[in-house]
């Protein structure tokens, strides 16, 4: 029999991750400062809203029980694109994105254990 903390661990991780990614992606998509900083990269100005908006939608899907697998895969793809953009611009501090990605994988791997995840 699982203890209460074992039953709450993965759903808690999924909710914490989903809400953090949702809030950060909305902030990135709507922030004028992020757009200005991103503009220095030479990429089109529509990239931050598109990337942030798609990440927000993926985070919402990840939080919805019926769509969490689709949302998880979408988040992994978006994180990979973000890491690629960072690398192409010589920005190698992508540890947060890697940790987010691994947390998504953990949540997806445990989606059927105990039914509540």
Tell me the domain boundaries of the chain: 4-109
Helix or strand holding residue 108 (H, E): helix 95-109
pLDDT tens, residue by residue, 18-31: 999 999 999 988 98
User: What are the pLDDT digits (tens) for 58-91?
Assistant: 999 999 999 999 999 999 999 999 999 899 989 9
- Does position 37 have pLDDT exceeding 60, yes or no? yes
State how far the Cα of 106 lies from the Cα of 18, in Å rounded to an integer.
13
Alpha-carbon span 7 to 66, nearest angstrom: 19
pLDDT at 63: 97
């Amino acid at each position: 029999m699982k203890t209460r903390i074992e039953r709450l661990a993965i759903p808690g991780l999924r909710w914490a991750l989903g809400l953090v990614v949702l809030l950060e992606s909305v902030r990135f998509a709507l922030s004028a400062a992020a757009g200005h900083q991103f503009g220095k990269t030479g990429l089109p100005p529509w990239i931050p809203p598109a990337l942030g908006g798609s990440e927000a939608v993926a985070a919402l899907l990840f939080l919805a029980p019926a769509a969490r697998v689709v949302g998880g895969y979408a988040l992994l793809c978006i994180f990979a694109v973000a890491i690629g953009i960072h690398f192409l611009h010589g920005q190698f501090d992508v540890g947060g994105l890697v940790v987010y990605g691994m947390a998504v994988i953990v949540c997806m791997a445990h989606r059927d254990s105990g039914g509540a995840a």
